[in-house]
Amino acid sequence: MLHPAPTDRIDPGLARGTLEGVHEQTATKPAFIVLGLYNSDYQLHLLPVGEITAPVGKRILGTIRAEAKRVDIVRTGGKYVEPVIGRPRRVQGRIVETDTARNTITVDAAAPFVCRLTDHRQRASDFEPGQFVSFDVLSGSTFEQAST
């Protein structure tokens, strides 16, 4: 079921959604959470950073961090994360912030992603807010719950 997104303003780098599940580590997979995004069918599988205190099925607020491969400026298309269910592999959206000290860009896709640039030929200073970008994401995207 789709849930309407809250309309109160928050930091543009914070993602909000519903904690759909917490999965323990197995012999072949690390522990991960499932973050459901409002107004969508997205079920992002993210590695938890720190303690996740929100109960399953309830609202959660935090930061999604990812490592971006080569970032390309694009002119067409929409905001998305691929796949809809699973670990993020590709992200496309609009840059809302850059941090040259940390070499990160914050991209508003289906949710905001704080992305560290891994291509040594690219720097956060090469990009500016408002640009529409697309890139692949390395395995290991994380979620850190914001203190409430």
* pLDDT tens-digit series, residues 41-87: 999 999 999 999 999 999 999 999 999 999 999 998 899 999 999 99
Q: Which residues pair with 72 in a beta bridge?
A: 134
Quote the mean pLDDT of the chain. 92
User: How far, in Å, CA of 125 to CA of 27, rounded?
Assistant: 40
The pLDDT of residue 6: 53
DSSP β-ladder status, 132-136 and 104-108? unpaired
Phi-psi region of 104 (alpha: psi -120 to 50; beta: other; left: phi over 0): beta
pTM (2 d.p.): 0.90
